[in-house]
Each structure stands twice: as C-alpha cells, then as structure tokens.
C-alpha cells in the first residue's frame, strides 16, 4: 500500500516536471517547434511562445505616447489595457495559419514533376508501340510477298526459312501487331 502511494507520487512528479519543461517557438521557416530543450540562439525572443516554468511570452504592443503633462500608466495597467483577439493572444503577435506555404509549394512542385514524369513515360511507351507496329507491318509485307527470307543463327550460320518457319514468323508478327497496332 505504501509503495503504491510512493510510485503514484513519483509518477505525478515526473508528469508535472515533463509538462513544465516544454519549450515552444516558431522557427525561421514559420513552423511551430515543441521541445524539452531551449531554442537555438538564432531564434529571436519574440518567436518563443512558451518556456518552462513561465507560461507564454507575449510580445509587447507599443502604445501611443502619453500626451504632454499626463501621467504615464503603470506597467500593470498597460498590460491589462493591451487589446487582445479574444483568445488571450495580444493583437500584435503573429498568428500562425497552420499552413506552411513553402511546404505546400514544394508539394505542388513535386506533384507536377511526378505528373510530368508519368506523361513522359506514357509518351515514350506510345512511341515505342508505334515503332513496333511499323516494323511488324513491314515484316508482314515481306512475308506476304513470297520472297525467300533468311536469318542468321546464334552460331553465325545463315538459314533460309521453310514453310513451317514462315508460318511461325507470321504468327509472331501477328501477335506483335495485335499488341502494338491499335
């Protein structure tokens, strides 16, 4: 029983420490960054949205200078009088839209490049089919002409096609034409 309470208390302490040790800032690209470490030195103080132990940092909105002879308001009064957008954020602070314009543009360019690649591949395949169709038509005309046709074997010997070889070649040519001549 005692150990359960001890572990529960220890767990709560760790959760509280973890929740408090959270930094939040806007990086140079305009993206929100959440971390348990402080932002790099190149991040200006105005871009730090939340830091451990403190809540959010707000950017002071410069007020109009007081008229001559008037008493300057106290710091607490000027903080209370600072206009807000209804969500507790001072009006002068930058609002993040949630859309990274640069990332959206890169995504759009990548999609366009992929579409162009697909179109180029399709055009290349169409051209290859047209070439294969023309060659098959020329070979069919040669076979239909009745001229003796020969081909060279892998061993380098020349062989003249007989009627069976001619029929097999015509069948192969017909298959190529069906696949490519549409």
Q: What is the pTM of this model?
A: 0.41
Q: What is the reported pLDDT for 86?
A: 52
d(CA 42, CA 129): 58
Say which residue the tokens 């051209």 belong to.
Answer: 127
Q: What is the reported pLDDT for 119?
A: 96
Residue 44, CA atoms < 13 Å, CB-side half-sphere: 6
**Containing H/E element for 164?**
helix 163-180
Q: What is the reported pLDDT for 53?
A: 73
Residue 76, CA atoms < 13 Å, CB-side half-sphere: 0
User: pLDDT 10s per residue in the chain (182 long)?
Assistant: 565 665 666 665 555 545 555 889 899 888 999 988 889 989 988 898 988 876 555 444 444 455 555 555 554 455 455 555 555 555 555 655 677 888 989 999 999 999 999 999 999 999 999 999 999 999 999 989 988 988 898 999 999 989 898 999 999 999 999 999 88
Q: What is the reported pLDDT for 7?
A: 61
Q: What is the reported pLDDT for 59?
A: 46
d(CA 63, CA 14): 42
Q: What is the reported pLDDT for 182?
A: 80
d(CA 49, CA 59): 9
Render the burial of 14-36: b for 16+ CB within 10 Å, e for the rest.
eeeeeeeeebbbbeeeeeeeeee
Helix (H, G, I), strand (E, B) or coil at 94: coil
Q: What is the reported pLDDT for 101?
A: 87
CA angle 128, 131, 136 (to 5 degrees): 125
d(CA 28, CA 18): 26
């Amino acid at each position: 029983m005692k150990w359960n309470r001890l572990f529960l208390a220890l767990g709560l302490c760790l959760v509280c420490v973890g929740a408090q040790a959270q930094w939040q800032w806007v990086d140079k690209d305009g993206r929100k960054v959440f971390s348990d470490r402080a932002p790099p030195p190149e991040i200006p103080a105005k871009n730090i949205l939340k830091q451990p132990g403190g809540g959010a940092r707000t950017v002071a909105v410069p007020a109009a200078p007081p008229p001559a002879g008037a008493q300057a308001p106290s710091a607490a009064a000027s903080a209370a009088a600072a206009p807000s957008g209804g969500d507790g954020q001072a009006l002068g602070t930058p609002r993040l839209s949630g859309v990274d314009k640069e990332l959206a543009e890169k995504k759009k360019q990548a999609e366009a490049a992929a579409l162009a690649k697909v179109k180029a591949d399709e055009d290349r395949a169409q051209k290859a089919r047209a070439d294969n169709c023309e060659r098959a038509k020329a070979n069919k005309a040669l076979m239909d002409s009745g001229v003796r046709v020969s081909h060279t074997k892998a061993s380098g010997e020349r062989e003249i096609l007989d009627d069976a070889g001619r029929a097999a070649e015509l069948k192969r040519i017909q298959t190529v034409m069906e696949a490519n001549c549409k």
